[in-house]
Structure 1
Amino acid sequence: MNLPEEFYKEEVRNDYRISSEMKKIWSVELDLFNQLDKICKRHNITYYADGGTLLGAVRHHGFIPWDDDMDFMMYRDDFEKLCSVASEFKEPYFFQTEETDPGSLRCHAQLRNSNTTGILKFEEDKKYPFNQGIFIDIFPLDNVPEDRDERLKFVNNLKELKQKAREYYDFNHGFAEKPRITGFHTLWQRINFPNKKRGYERLFKVYGEKNPYYKEYKEKVTKYKDSTGYVMDIAIHDDSKRLNSQYFGKPKYVPFEMVKMPIPENYDNILNRYYGDWHKLVRGQNIHGGCIFDVKIPYNQYLSK
Structure 2
Amino acid sequence: MDNIKLKLSEDFLKEEVRNDYTVSPEMKKVWAVELDLLDQLDRVCQKYDIPWYLSGGSLLGAVRHQGYIPWDDDIDLMMYRKDFERLCEVASQEFTEPYFFQTEETDTGSIRGHAQLRNSATTAILKSEEYFHYQFNQGIFIDIFPLDNVPDDPEERQAFVKSVNQLKHRARQFYNYCNGYPNKNLSGLKQFLLYTKFFFEKKKSGGRNIYYDRFAKEITKYDDQATQEVMMVMLGTEKCCWKREYVANPVRVPFELLSLPIPKDYDPLLTKQYGKWNIFVRGGSLHGSVIFDPDKSYKEYLK
Q: Shorter chain as normaliser: what TM range?
A: over 0.9
Displacement of 1:83 in angstroms is 0.2
Corresponding position of 1:122: 128
Whole-Å separation in 2 of the counterparts to 1:177 and 1:48: 37
Match of 1:6, SS? coil
Which stretches of structure 1, 4 residues or more, deviate above 6 A after TM superposition? none
Whole-Å separation in 2 of the counterparts to 1:220 and 1:291: 30
Whole-Å separation in 1 of the counterparts to 2:282 and 2:15: 19
Displacement of 1:94 in angstroms is 0.2
Q: Aligned runs of 1:192-211 on 2, under 5 Å?
A: 196-211=194-209
Structure 1 unmatched runs, 5+: none
Displacement of 1:177 in angstroms is 2.6
Corresponding position of 2:105: 99
Whole-Å separation in 1 of the counterparts to 2:185 and 2:60: 42
Does residue 118 of structure 2 align to residue 112 of structure 1?
yes
1:27 to 32, 46, 51: 32
Corresponding position of 2:3: none
**Conservation of the 8 A alpha-carbon contact between 1:119 and 1:292:** yes
Displacement of 1:5 in angstroms is 2.1
Displacement of 1:42 in angstroms is 0.3
What is the root-mean-square deviation of aligned Cα atoms in Å?
A: 1.4
Corresponding position of 2:214: 216
Corresponding position of 1:268: 267
Corresponding position of 1:290: 289
2:48 to 43, 53, 74: 43
**Conservation of the 8 A alpha-carbon contact between 1:144 and 1:227:** no
Displacement of 1:228 in angstroms is 2.9
Structure 2 unmatched runs, 5+: 1-5
**Conservation of the 8 A alpha-carbon contact between 1:67 and 1:286:** yes
Does residue 81 of structure 2 align to residue 82 of structure 1?
no
Displacement of 1:172 in angstroms is 0.3
Does residue 149 of structure 2 align to residue 143 of structure 1?
yes
Amino acid at match of 1:238: T
Does residue 71 of structure 2 align to residue 69 of structure 1?
no
Aligned length: 296
Amino acid at match of 1:212: I
Match of 1:24, SS? helix
Displacement of 1:283 in angstroms is 0.4
Whole-Å separation in 2 of the counterparts to 1:272 and 1:83: 31
Displacement of 1:16 in angstroms is 0.3
Displacement of 1:180 in angstroms is 6.2
Question: How has the CA–CA distance of structure 1 residues 224 and 180 changed in structure 2, closer, same or farther, with 3 Å as cutoff?
Answer: closer
Amino acid at match of 1:9: K
**Conservation of the 8 A alpha-carbon contact between 2:116 and 2:142:** yes
Corresponding position of 1:246: 245
Q: Deviations over 1:58-97 (max 9, x none)?
A: 0000000000000000000000000000111011000000
Q: Work out which of the two has the higher radius of gyration on C-alpha atoms and give 1 or 2.
A: 1
What fraction of aligned residue pairs are identical, expressed as a percent? 52
Q: Deviations over 1:191-232 (max 9, x none)?
A: xx9954322111010224321011001111111112231011
Match of 1:7, SS? coil
Question: How has the CA–CA distance of structure 1 residues 179 and 66 changed in structure 2, closer, same or farther, with 3 Å as cutoff?
Answer: closer
Amino acid at match of 1:101: D
Match of 2:12, SS? helix
Question: How has the CA–CA distance of structure 1 residues 58 and 172 changed in structure 2, closer, same or farther, with 3 Å as cutoff?
Answer: same
**Conservation of the 8 A alpha-carbon contact between 2:135 and 2:302:** no
Displacement of 1:181 in angstroms is 3.5
Q: Deviations over 1:141-164 (max 9, x none)?
A: 000001011000000000100000
Whole-Å separation in 2 of the counterparts to 1:80 and 1:90: 19
Corresponding position of 1:301: 300
Match of 2:208, SS? coil
| TM-score where L is the length of structure 2 | 0.95
Whole-Å separation in 1 of the counterparts to 2:204 and 2:146: 29
Amino acid at match of 2:279: K
Displacement of 1:171 in angstroms is 0.3
| TM-score where L is the length of structure 1 | 0.94
Question: How has the CA–CA distance of structure 1 residues 157 and 138 changed in structure 2, closer, same or farther, with 3 Å as cutoff?
Answer: same
